[in-house]
């Protein structure tokens, strides 16, 4: 993608990555427009398998498919750590200890069912 002879570099920014579908669709649109996508930033990596038949993470698939780096600000592991370590009287998450434990249990089960190993 050029603007007056200057190549336009694009950094994709997305809120969450699950299977990578939104990023893949955006990449097809941007590639068709001749944009030079240089990377992707995700706020939360859910650390899910790309599909039931592919044990790689969605980030690994996007990186391999488009040969671009993908970085996340936080991931499911860091969210669980935050909830588990947030045992101070005045919770920084704003949740009670019981609520935090409920979320941790639910997230861990979700990760066991759909998450990548490691």
Question: What 3-state DSSP class applies to 17?
Answer: strand
- Tens-place pLDDT, residues 83-97: 887 655 445 667 788
Q: Model-level pTM?
A: 0.76
Between 89 and 38, the more confident residue is 38
Domain range holding 8? Answer: 2-114
- Tens-place pLDDT, residues 26-36: 999 998 888 89
Distance CA(17)–CA(23), nearest Å, equals: 8
> Which CATH number covers residue 85?
3.40.50.2020
Distance CA(99)–CA(83), nearest Å, equals: 10
Q: Total domain count for the chain?
A: 1
């Amino acid at each position: 993608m050029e603007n007056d002879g200057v190549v336009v570099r694009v950094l994709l920014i997305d809120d969450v990555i699950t299977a990578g579908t939104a990023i893949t669709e955006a990449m097809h649109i941007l590639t068709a427009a001749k944009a030079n996508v240089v990377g992707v930033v995700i706020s939360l990596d859910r650390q899910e398998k790309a599909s039931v038949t592919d044990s790689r993470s969605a980030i690994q698939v996007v990186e391999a498919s488009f040969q671009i780096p993908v970085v996340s600000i936080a991931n499911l592991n860091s969210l669980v750590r935050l909830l588990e370590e947030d045992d101070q009287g005045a919770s920084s998450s704003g949740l009670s200890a019981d609520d935090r434990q409920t979320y941790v249990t639910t997230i861990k089960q979700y990760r066991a069912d759909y998450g990548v190993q490691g």
